[in-house]
Amino acid sequence: MPILIHGDAAFSGQGVVMETLQMSQTRGYGVGGSIHVIVNNQIGFTTSSEEDSRSGPYATDVAKIIEAPILHVNGDDPEMVVFAAKLACEYRNFFKKDIVLDMFCFRRKGHNEADEPSSTQPMMYQAIKNHPSVKDQYQERLIQEQVLSLKDCDEMQKNYRTSIEKGDNVAHNLATKPNEKLWFDWTPYMNQTWKQETDTSFDENNFTDLAKNTFSVPQNFEPQKQVEKLLNDRLKMADGQMPINWGFAENMAYATLLTEGYPIRFTGQDVRRGTFSHRHAVLHNQKDGLGVMPLVDAANKANTTIDIYDSLLSEEAVLGFEYGYSATRPSGLVIWEAQFGDFANGAQVVIDQFIVSAEHKWERLSGLVMLLPHGYEGQGPEHSSARLERFLQLCADENIQVCVPSTPAQIFHLLRLQTIRKMRRPLIVIAPKSLLRNPMATSELKALTHGKFQYVIDDRTAVKKEDVTKIILCSGKVFYDLLNKKNDMELHNVALIRIEQLYSFPYDALEKILIQYENAEDFIWCQEEPANQGAWFSHRHRIQRVLDRVSNNQIRLVSRPAAAAPAVGLNKLHNQQQENLVVEALTI
């Protein structure tokens, strides 16, 4: 039974409370009701008045948005608190909905033990100073009713304190028997690293059959016309008649994992279709509007589960829920996708307080995947950047992984790698937008069935390594802009190398590639982001460390000028900047 404990000021003031209340009856986040216990001890009002802290008379008024019952109970009456708690449990169990228990009490010491609350709340704390404690009130009542003697009370208090100091349990265990199956056993996942070898290939014959099942519709099912074409194209991809695109590869990553018994949970705004209409994991019948998820068949055959839900327009609460889900289930794949990468800004609290630091603070592991669409497409400052620089600044002690896959095969193997190997650390995927349909961003079938995730990708053009004098290092979509312009300009002395995993940084893999270019003397890091953003500041020294092993040259930056916003708002100016950026990288 979910029990959430709140402070009074937090319940009325924190927006994440409203978000979780809105989630409480949705398909993807309903938990059969939660009991909200508010320790209403005025701690939020020690230094301010209630008139400045909320608009309603009660801290619990926000719960009215879902018509949750609110039980106001006097904290000075322990037996009434117990009665209210029992009533809350019965309500939740019967109606499967949220209920709020508002325990109205006080805090004698003010906001903290060193505080002098009477300086700002003299009337309240004049009353509190002269008010007996709950223990003293209840003890006096029990003695008067001859339930206990003063000696009995002192002995109980002494034994309780001793038990706490010894670390003994002071509450009764209500479990009738221990858990028979420890599905949350984390032992196999401890002390693992990202460098461990993991086979992410898949049998080619089974792959083709699985793809045909995944991208076929049931009889008497009428898909929307564009979706029908998309599915037909994917069937051709499965037969090797067309190069594989991103949507095919991503869906097949899920399908292959399901057949191997790994459960999948996938949420976010519009994830079933995909914000950019590339996924279509759920198909809608044009006759009756009902949806069907072909991946369910693969899950059922392997006796596992797949849950894909479109979430409400929330980032903080939804990401917090998915983080908690991943922190309690070590096996399988848990994914949250932002509609645009910069939407993760609304979930920064969860990222800072939990995702990047929980292992360091609490030794809590998580394999959560965050898909953050990122790329400079001329869509303005709010729809360009996933704030890559923030994640890279938060990297330390291999706490998270930050990857920028640039081909369908890369996302296929990356998702499988994250699930199959035993290492459980959050994975931040700086995901593409325009690459979802870029005819250059394709892969061959064998790259999926027989390949693996490449941390660094060498130049794949017919360039002769001995003729290369300039090396441009980059990540993500800008690679294809550079490649197009390089081909147009017929530059044979330039090599384009993609770093697909920015953290943990693949020092050895990059060195192994760079050492082959013996005549290279000009090294550039090219990024679409402004100079004060992107990977430059966090990764300049990492790239230079590799260069120091293979040459005496320095890495240089080519980027947009430093800016306060992630991108410009005018598409024409964006295109001009992008052209200048690419030409500068190739010619200076």
Over residues 311-330, mean pLDDT: 94
Whether residues 299 and 265 fall in one domain: yes
> pTM of the entire structure?
0.93
Q: 195 is written with which tokens? A: 């460098």
Q: Is it the case that residue 113 has pLDDT exceeding 90?
A: no
Q: What is the total count of domains within the chain?
A: 3
Residue 317 lies in a domain: yes
User: What pLDDT digit, counting tens, does each position of 221-242 carry?
Assistant: 999 999 999 999 999 999 999 9
Whether residues 371 and 341 fall in one domain: yes
Model confidence at 277, pLDDT cuts 50, 70, 90, reads: very high
Model confidence at 178, pLDDT cuts 50, 70, 90, reads: low
What is the per-residue pLDDT for 47? 66
Whether residues 115 and 233 fall in one domain: no
Whether residues 329 and 430 fall in one domain: yes
Placement of tokens 């693949």 in the chain:
506
Q: Which of 107, 131, 155 is the endpoint of a domain?
A: 131
What is the per-residue pLDDT for 114? 83
Closest CA to 341 of 263, 414, 402: 402
Whether residues 292 and 372 fall in one domain: yes
Q: Which of 449, 482, 505 is the endpoint of a domain?
A: 449
Whether residues 17 and 83 fall in one domain: yes
Whether residues 548 and 570 fall in one domain: yes
Q: Is it the case that residue 180 has pLDDT exceeding 60?
A: no
Over residues 180-184, mean pLDDT: 58
Q: Is it the case that residue 179 has pLDDT exceeding 60?
A: no
Question: The domain that contains 567 carries what CATH number?
Answer: 3.40.50.11610
Residue 280 lies in a domain: yes
Q: Which of 106-115, 218-227, 289-298 has the lowest mean pLDDT?
A: 106-115
User: What pLDDT digit, counting tens, does each position of 24-34 carry?
Assistant: 999 999 999 99
Sheet containing strand 501-503, edge to edge, reads: 306-310, 264-268, 333-337, 369-373, 427-431, 401-403, 501-503
Q: Is it the case that residue 431 has pLDDT exceeding 80?
A: yes
Whether residues 347 and 311 fall in one domain: yes
Question: The domain that contains 87 carries what CATH number?
Answer: 3.40.50.970
Residue 302 lies in a domain: yes
Whether residues 533 and 417 fall in one domain: no
Residue 504 lies in a domain: yes
Over residues 562-573, mean pLDDT: 95
What is the per-residue pLDDT for 183? 58
Contact of 445 with 244, CB cutoff 8 Å: yes
What is the per-residue pLDDT for 549? 94
Dihedral angle sign, alpha carbons of residues 103, 108, 114, 118: positive
Q: Which of 32-36, 93-97, 185-189, 246-250 has the lowest mean pLDDT?
A: 185-189
Residue 137 lies in a domain: no
Q: Is it the case that residue 426 has pLDDT exceeding 90?
A: yes
Residue 98 lies in a domain: yes
Q: 446 is written with which tokens? A: 């064998």
Residue 532 lies in a domain: yes
What is the per-residue pLDDT for 109? 85
Question: The domain that contains 398 carries what CATH number?
Answer: 3.40.50.12470
Boundaries of domain holding 109: 3-131
Whether residues 223 and 310 fall in one domain: yes
Whether residues 243 and 392 fall in one domain: yes
Residue 139 lies in a domain: no
Whether residues 240 and 302 fall in one domain: yes
Over residues 166-186, mean pLDDT: 73
Over residues 316-337, mean pLDDT: 95
Q: Is it the case that residue 51 has pLDDT exceeding 80?
A: no
- What DSSP element (H or E) covers 36? strand 35-40
What is the per-residue pLDDT for 346? 94
Q: Which of 428, 449, 470 is the endpoint of a domain?
A: 449
Q: What angle do CA 68, 72, 78 make, to 5 degrees?
A: 130
Contact of 492 with 451, CB cutoff 8 Å: no
User: What pLDDT digit, counting tens, does each position of 367-409 carry?
Assistant: 999 999 999 999 999 999 999 999 999 999 999 999 999 999 9
Mean pLDDT of the chain: 94
